[in-house]
Amino acid sequence: MNRYEIWMVKVKFEDTDGVKERPVMIWNDQCYIIAYKMTGTDRGDNQEEYRVKYWKEAGLSKPTSIRIRKVLRLEKSDFTRKIGELDKRERLLFDFRIIP
């Protein structure tokens, strides 16, 4: 797994024991795989989320945001399939948004 790849994973709900398959973007894969949660809900332009501009090119099925403050620590067993990766035109914009 490489930085900027987008995968479908089994993510546990924050408030229950339920699990939902949803996309995440890989940030690194050291001891655990660190990924950002993604959502199709548009909450407007804010510091908490990055709206993917080239979502179709990334393999996503609908407009999606990367939830910058929702970092997940995952294991390989959580992953179901790779769906794409963040478009090269967009990587620098994303990095600029999250790295102070």
Residue appearing with tokens 């990095």: 95
CA distance linking residue 3 with residue 29, whole number of Å: 8
Span 5-93 CATH architecture: Roll (2.30)
Residue 99: predicted pLDDT: 59
Three-state DSSP state, 77: helix
Residue type, 28: N
Q: What would the pLDDT profile of 6-51 be if each residue is shown by its tens digit?
A: 999 998 877 788 888 999 999 887 767 889 889 898 877 677 888 9
**pTM metric for this prediction:** 0.80
Q: What is the DSSP letter of 88?
A: H
Residue 83: pLDDT band (50, 70, 90) is very high
- Domain limits, the chain: 5-93
Mean pLDDT within 76-84: 94
Tokens of 14: 């924050």
